[in-house]
Chain A
């Protein structure tokens, strides 16, 4: 229910700005600009959500980074523990840089309380508030529906219904993992290779491609904050919450699509944390802007109470549901994702033969195109048909993987 985030200040969408811009003959009211980090503060960022699924639980430790940098530095060499109210300690080990996995599989259980403790390599220690597992509520229904978005673009929306008869869940967060099938329309079995080279010319031949690149699968993980609460509703029920939207001509819904929606029932505090995070990052208001500030989570430094710590330790109950959608069941009449598969034909022109061949070799080595003869070729003869297509048209492996995911159902 994104509407609840609408309560937070006045959300005047950028589009409205444009209305005004047109009224006042103004060309651009909202301009992007380059940010440079000033007064950079290096802060520990903790992302720890323990669930009621029996699995190797995961805690991520990173640090804040400058805008000029590519990404976060991992916080390595820390000791991470989760202690329950029976004083049982779950220990974590760093598996990848900054990624700490529990040494044993465990699931958070209701009635228990948990807190997390972290000692970083530089000797600082951090402790979280005590948290409990909220109500376990399973997703009622995940379903696709043809809708238009705010900009009037038609496409496919993915919606969720859920209901907690006990009325205790109230705060929900959604993540998803989407997988789509891609078919390369112009798959060609052979790659062009240089079989021999002389001073004056190269000899070209073809070679079997190692695997079939006609059909691939691509999996992506959601990266937006999608939260909802039912505190203003008569019952603890969510109906028709849109968790994802794809325009009709999006590659994801060009053929067959699957989405695994994960529903986290979370605490009120965790909801508050995510809500602030999301409202600061989607502040679209022109005339008034939410006063941003440091987002306090539920973890503090024991070494120095004034030290800022970002992030949240949450125990959450998870329910998930996967669905499959065929494009033609919903969007058959709408324009589909289309690749630009124009043939690229290198020509000799006035070049020496060797120069031309070197150019052809350049095409072979390029990751942007793949071989696609525009005339019949003799497989075991030297090849003199040189033509290419954008690689994505002839080989879906540039987008995804050919291996069919375990969950995939055709």
Chain B
């Protein structure tokens, strides 16, 4: 019978409603409490009250006697000297609200801006300036016909043209005078305001004038005043209340302008609308349509962020590192889109709590499962099937989520009537599980586990397998209003395996794996509204098996070999202070001090100084004991960002960022592959480091409908790892003899225009950027391109993307995606030569040429199932055509010698339009 109405701490605006139809009631009570009175009214009428008990519990001694009275009258009397206001809805509900508390939170001028559709409220409690937007305040006060009053006694022969109009303003509920109310005459602000006592005075022209009085938080007063002489009119105003249909709190409307550390946020939900190859949703592919994040090509794995190599991104899934988040060489994402909650990418300024990679942090978190009861999502596409289920464990407190995705390519391959393909195999799957438990209001724990696996075989005699595994356990605790902490324990593993089972006696199995375990404690200290600290410590232990080979079968004469394990400890302490220097200028100043120890046991080669490293210049091999520190690297990493507001929707930001990276992928391929290995920094291979300077301007238009940003950056890196031509990497015990370390340099300007609302929404991004590498040395064999800077493999100066969605109705929408990029650099032969009877190509300087420019248009049509309320599930169809224009975009070029002659070949991944249909189901 009693229903509770949840209150937002922000505001309640109710609409007053005519009480004409109110039934008349009779009731009497003495020394009663208010709640009982309300219950009595509920008994006698079909009106229902909505309130919170605590508001009324002080009023436990009220008396009254009413006969044939309206409810309004009763309530007015009942709440006469309280802060409670009431409101009748059209469906016979009466909503109570403690108004004064609410008003405490409202800023000056709040109601002054009330006529607009959009209100911007600043709340003080939150350290971040949030700007809630109330998008739908469409039911304004009921407009009564303007009432006419007469003032003053008409006097014959009055020659005066103006008369004094004065009176007192008071709040009808509290009886208090209303101060600073504005008197408006015929729509003009005549400069009259009520004073401290609520007294107002103005002049009115003889005859009729429309007088309006706007008092803060009160119903407006508007009357036709016919004045005959000076006269007094006292006005009692009701507090203004308005009922909101729907309150949409969009706290981040201006976040892109206001946040100090710019992050690229990927809307996981929206990603389903973007057409992708073979209908596979890929949240990170969406990221590549945003400026500054690219891939080397359509089928290339890994991301290049602001001219950085693809091993320079820290990809975190619930705080655990994912080394290779892609299936099938980068064509598909290995992260289940149904499981993801938030995806934030830091490419500008990396918060000090993150470290270990130079270019960016991809911070992915899974959503909490099972809090809204049992539900699930499933999809069937041409390549994969995907199911995710959420189930509650403890109502509203604990839940689990379990998702699985698998490709049925294998089945397709086998069913094809093509003999040569029967031996081929390509399959993958990924599984994700999460348990979240809100133990108390202050404490929450989350456990996540992730596993992905790819199997593929190219020839009948070899099988490649690669795996990601990640696990994390996180504890969030709020000590008090000012302090909170997060403790995270994570473990990740990446491994691959190659099995070779051929005709000769050399069958083998080759394996690689990297394993890391991290413990991180992160604390937040809210000093005051202008100063906030984020600090903590983290330590990570790496264990790498750089490669082992074992014979398969009795006959194999492969000698088992296992390269020495590598171990490293990467530790850091970090502190970030977020300081509001002025209202407009905010600084996010962070420092991270990283220390890396390369640990024994193991051996390290010492080479002669001043000559290229090779087996000939090897001086000695040192041995180290277990846990002995072989080498230590590290230093401070400054992460400083500043923001200056030039209005509520316009800001300038600048940042400086220094980063270290202690592990490197070893790859002599032009793009990364699943069998690239990660190597720890050691005595001979130094850590990479980078410094980035960035400056940007951010502007929102039309209340956040449009967001425009322009960012420029300049980045320099050191000790980027590269290789001598044709280096042997797998199972190389002296890999340092093949490694070259050089400098990187990149710069660019990124434009992004987003339209976030309306039927047509999407974004348009354009980046002009360059990325260079320099490999210089005193020795010719260690120099590439004469020691000069040369374009990196992913240097694509022009990068344009347009993502546009048009929603016809709630059920039908059309999505388009257009990409244009400069062709990536390739190493092209400068001629050919004859050797041992065959022709070969001569390669000279690296990356002097480019493949043709890349462009592609994709279209998608989304059909949502009907929106009936009571159906079991909700379905969603996506019909898409990838590469509508059928553009044959070359991905790479290569030159083979066949029958002694050179043949030039180019590959492309999707050279014709690729249609697909995906079916999604939610329950």
Query: Which of A's residues lie within 8 Å of B, judged by CB?
Result: 1, 3, 6-13, 15-20, 22-35, 37-43, 45, 47, 62-67, 71-72, 147, 150-152, 175, 221-225, 232-235, 237, 239-242, 272, 275-277, 279-296, 305-306, 308, 310-311
Contact = CB atoms under 8 A, between A and B. Distances in A.
A40 B830 CA distance: 5
A283 B896 contact: yes
A152 B909 contact: no
Given A223-B836, A286-B907, A289-B894, 20 more contacts: A10-B675, A12-B329, A18-B421, A19-B413, A19-B426, A31-B906, A35-B902, A39-B844, A40-B831, A66-B832, A72-B833, A232-B508, A241-B504, A281-B838, A283-B896, A290-B726, A291-B668, A291-B723, A291-B725, A293-B846
17 contacts: A1-B506, A9-B668, A10-B675, A24-B910, A26-B914, A62-B833, A147-B503, A151-B420, A152-B419, A175-B836, A224-B900, A232-B508, A233-B559, A286-B907, A288-B670, A293-B784, A306-B786
Contact of B300 (A280, A287, A294): A287
B558 A281 contact: no
Interface in B761-790: 780-781, 784, 786
A270 to B, nearest CB: 12
Contact of A29 (B421, B424, B728, B909): B909
A151 B278 CA distance: 29
A35 B669 contact: no
A287 B301 contact: yes
B833 A45 contact: yes
Contacts of B559: 232-234
A6 B674 CA distance: 14
Nearest to A296: B781
Contacts of A29: 907-909, 911
A62 to B, nearest CB: 6
A308 B831 CA distance: 13
Contacts of B835: 45, 47, 277, 310-311
Contacts of A67: 829, 831-832, 902
Contacts of B731: 7, 232
A276 B723 CA distance: 13
A71 B901 CA distance: 10
A291 to B, nearest CB: 5
Contacts of A32: 903-906
B503 A240 contact: yes
A292 B278 CA distance: 32
A286 B383 CA distance: 20
Given A286-B299, A289-B671, A12 B504 contact: no
Most buried by A among B300, B508, B837, B893: B837
A8 B728 contact: yes
Given A6-B500, A24-B278, A284 B843 contact: no
Contacts of A221: 837
Contacts of A285: 669, 673, 894
B897 interface: yes
B409 interface: yes
Most buried by A among B300, B510, B786, B840: B840
B831 A30 contact: no
Contacts of A282: 896-897
Given A11-B458, A65-B831, A283 B904 contact: no
A289 B833 contact: no
B895 interface: yes
Given A10-B675, A32-B904, A277-B835, A233 B502 contact: no
Contact of A291 (B299, B460, B846, B893): B846
Contacts, number: 278
A30 B669 contact: no
A41 B842 contact: yes
Nearest to A282: B896
B726 A295 contact: yes
A284 B557 CA distance: 28
Contacts of A19: 413, 421, 424, 426
Contacts of B416: 22
Contacts of A283: 894-896
A233 B506 contact: yes
Given A223-B836, A290-B669, A7 B726 contact: no
A290 B424 CA distance: 23
A235 B914 CA distance: 52
Most buried by B among A28, A31, A290, A292: A292
Interface in B376-433: 383, 409, 412-413, 416, 418-421, 424, 426
Given A62-B834, A223-B900, A235-B557, A308 B844 contact: yes
A239 B726 CA distance: 27
Interface string B880-917: 00000000100111111101101111111111101000
Interface string B800-834: 00000000000000000000000000011111111
A44 to B, nearest CB: 10
Interface in B268-284: 277-278
B725 A3 contact: no
Contacts of A17: 907
Contacts of A147: 503
A283 B909 CA distance: 17
Given A26-B911, A288-B670, A65 B726 contact: no
A9 B677 CA distance: 11
A28 B908 CA distance: 8
A150 B829 contact: no
B505 interface: yes
Contacts of B780: 296, 305-306
A24 B914 contact: yes
B833 A16 contact: no
Contacts of B849: 38
A147 B836 CA distance: 27
A295 B843 CA distance: 8
B726 A41 contact: no
Nearest to A231: B559
B838 to A, nearest CB: 4
Given A28-B911, A240-B505, A223 B781 contact: no
B730 interface: yes
Contacts of A33: 893, 904-906
A7 B426 CA distance: 20
Q: Which 10 A-B pairs have the closest CB atoms?
A: A276-B726, A293-B725, A281-B897, A287-B329, A223-B837, A288-B673, A223-B900, A240-B504, A288-B669, A64-B831
B171 interface: no
B458 A12 contact: yes
Given A234-B557, A288-B673, A72 B834 contact: yes
B458 A16 contact: yes
Given A13-B459, A279-B726, A23 B833 contact: no
A398 B555 CA distance: 47
Nearest to B781: A296
B859 interface: no
B187 to A, nearest CB: 67
A3 B899 contact: no
A237 B329 contact: no
A1 B849 CA distance: 35
A46 B488 CA distance: 61
A76 to B, nearest CB: 15
A12 B409 CA distance: 17
Most buried by B among A30, A276, A287: A287
Most buried by B among A29, A275, A289, A306: A289
A287 B833 contact: no
Most buried by B among A15, A241, A279: A15
A48 B728 CA distance: 25
A35 B897 CA distance: 14
B830 A26 contact: no
Most buried by B among A3, A27, A175: A3
A147 B498 CA distance: 24
Most buried by A among B299, B834, B893: B834
Contacts of A30: 905-907
